Chains A and B, each alone.
Chain A
Amino acid sequence: DVKVTQSSRYLVKRTGEKVFLECVQDMDHENMFWYRQDPGLGLRLIYFSYDVKMKEKGDIPEGYSVSREKKERFSLILESASTNQTSMYLCASSGGANVLTFGAGSRLTVL
């Protein structure tokens, strides 16, 4: 069973802080994704990655960056957190079948 692990379930940060959200998958998947999930807005793609050191912007990349130094790890970075980035963040990975396996989510609150 594919496991996607997000290191933090709940975080509370202050405006302007730098925030790191970590995601690790254990099935050697090439593709990894970061979404944010908001009520009434569904899931919106922030960034995704095909391979190590590769990254592509999704639909809402502003205010975010990512890092993929190793195949199993995909990090989402908020350089200077703002209150409108309060959200549930979901990491996912996929192999060749276009089916995504999701992590449990990281709920970020920015005060």
Chain B
Amino acid sequence: AQRVTQPEKLLSVFKGAPVELKCNYSYSGSPELFWYVQYSRQRLQLLLRHISRESIKGFTADLNKGETSFHLKKPFAQEEDSAMYYCALYGNNRLAFGKGNQVVVIP
């Protein structure tokens, strides 16, 4: 069975500071990793996926199979980045989520 671990529950950063959300996974097959985001009063939505290798809203994430990690990074946090972030792994025909990180960007 797959497992996704997000160690920090709450992350507070000042505007303009870097943000890094950690995600580690365990899965016996070839993983497909995602980051989903939920802004206040909005639906959960896809932020990015590892196979796209693209930057979305300034965020990037690199899959490191050796460390079984898929950390989310942004060099300069903005107030609009305040949200709940979930790392997720697709395997065995299902998407398994971590427990999420609440990010608060302080003006």
Q: Which of B43, B45, B90, B93 has the most CB of A within 10 A?
A: B43
Contact A42 B44 (CB under 8 A): no
Interface range for B: 20 to 34
> Given A99-B46, A103-B43 in contact, is the A42-B98 Cβ separation under 8 Å?
yes
Name the CB-closest residue of B to A6. B43
Summarize B's interface: helix, strand, loop or mixed.
Answer: strand
CA A41 – CA B6 in complex, angstroms?
A: 11
A9–chain B nearest beta-carbon distance, Å: 11
What is the number of residues of chain A that contact chain B, defined by CB distance less than 8 Å? 22
Say yes or no: is A76 at the interface (Cβ < 8 Å to chain B). Answer: no
| A102 with B43: CB separation less than 8 A | yes
Question: Which are the 10 A-B pairs with shortest beta-carbon distances?
Answer: A42-B99, A43-B97, A102-B44, A98-B90, A42-B100, A42-B97, A102-B43, A104-B43, A99-B46, A42-B98
